[in-house]
Amino acid sequence: RKEVEQDPGPFNVPEGATVAFNCTYSNSASQSFFWYRQDCRKEPKLLMSVYSSGNEDGRFTAQLNRASQYISLLIRDSKLSDSATYLCVVNMPQAGGYNKLIFGAGTRLAVHP
Amino acid sequence: GAGVSQSPSNKVTEKGKDVELRCDPISGHTALYWYRQSLGQGLEFLIYFQGNSAPDKSGLPSDRFSAERTGGSVSTLTIQRTQQEDSAVYLCASSSSLRGVGLANYGYTFGSGTRLTVV
């Protein structure tokens, strides 16, 4: 089983739509969680951290369910500029006392006019 | 510097040649990571540095791959006797975390990568 699993998509949605991405992770000891965005042929960039209480940043809402080991990202009122690949990222504790980010393979979003 | 800088941005090399990829992290970032991303694939962890030491080299795919970091700053990833399957984008990231603490809030900042093509 992969450490971080995402639906690869693609999700094709019209402008203005609401779209949700899901992610599951395998290690219950994981300590922190992120969503990254990666545009075509560009490096990944941090979109937002994910907190247990849920957090919102404008049109983006992230949720974490530790019991189910499940993370979600909701995008409201989709814009053309939201078209990208969204990476679910989990911070996994490692032997030796350090942490490492493990990336999901990404979910591709295409927003059309 | 203001961001993570990688060079070269593109590298085309012949099969069997050695290549060196350079990463200059954000000033003051103690943690440095190398990942690679093949076309259409996710990010594959290669190696992690904390300061100049590499506590996790588990992702290096073969003994043709090595990396070092000097002065707690610049890192070099070396691939010897390159093969066509080494073609990928090699991404470097740094973090302000110390021993992973702080990573919880900050995540990583990535460089723009080196696109390696082995012909």
For the segment A38-62, what is each residue's pLDDT rounded down to a tens digit?
A: 999 899 999 998 988 888 999 999 9
Hey, what are A30's tokens? 């994981």
Q: Does B108 touch chain A (CB under 8 A)?
A: yes
State yes or no: pLDDT of B17 exceeds 60. yes
A96 pLDDT more than 60 = yes
Distance from CA of A83 to the nearest CA of B (A): 16
Collect all residues of chain A within an 8 Å Cβ-Cβ radius of residue B99. Answer: 97-98
Q: Residue B103 above 80 pLDDT?
A: no
Q: Which residue has the higher pLDDT, B19 or A54?
A: B19
Task: Calculate the CA B28 to chain-centre distance.
Answer: 17
- pLDDT, mean over chain A: 91
pLDDT digits (tens, 9 = 90+) for A2-20: 889 998 889 999 999 999 9
Q: Which of A81-90, B28-37, B83-92 has the lowest mean pLDDT?
A: B28-37
Contacts of B42 in chain A (CB under 8 A): 87, 103-106
Residues A104, A38 contacting (CB under 8 angstroms): no
The per-residue DSSP string of B53-85 comes to EEEE-TT--STTEEEEE-TTS-EEEEE-S--GG
Inform me whether the pLDDT recorded for B111 exceeds 80: yes
Q: What's the pLDDT at A100?
A: 80
Measured between CA atoms, the residue of chain A closest to residue B6 is: A43
Higher pLDDT, B100 or B65: B65
Please tell me the number of Cα atoms within 13 Å of B86 on its side-chain side. Answer: 29
Mean pLDDT of A63-83: 96
Name, in order, each residue with C-beta under 8 angstroms of A16's C-beta and a sequence gap of 6 or more. A77, A78
Number of residues in chain B: 119
Three-state SS across A42-105? Answer: CCCEEEEEECCCCEEECCEEEEEECCCCEEEEEECCCCHHHCEEEEEEEEEECCCCCEEEEECC
- pLDDT of B23 > 50? The answer is yes
Average pLDDT over residues A85-91: 93
Q: What is the structure's pLDDT at B112? A: 95
- pLDDT of B41 reads 84
> Which residues of chain B neighbour A43 with C-beta distances below 8 Å?
91, 110-113
**Distance in angstroms (rounded) separating the CA atoms of residues B105 and A59:** 21
Torsion of CA B28, B33, B39, B41, to 10 degrees: -120
How much of chain B exceeds pLDDT 70, in percent?
Answer: 90
Residue with tokens 């971080």, as numbered in its chain: A4
Residue B71 has a pLDDT of 87
Q: What is the mean pLDDT of residues B76-101?
A: 86
Q: Is the pLDDT of residue B105 over 60?
A: no
What is the predicted pLDDT for the residue at B100? 47
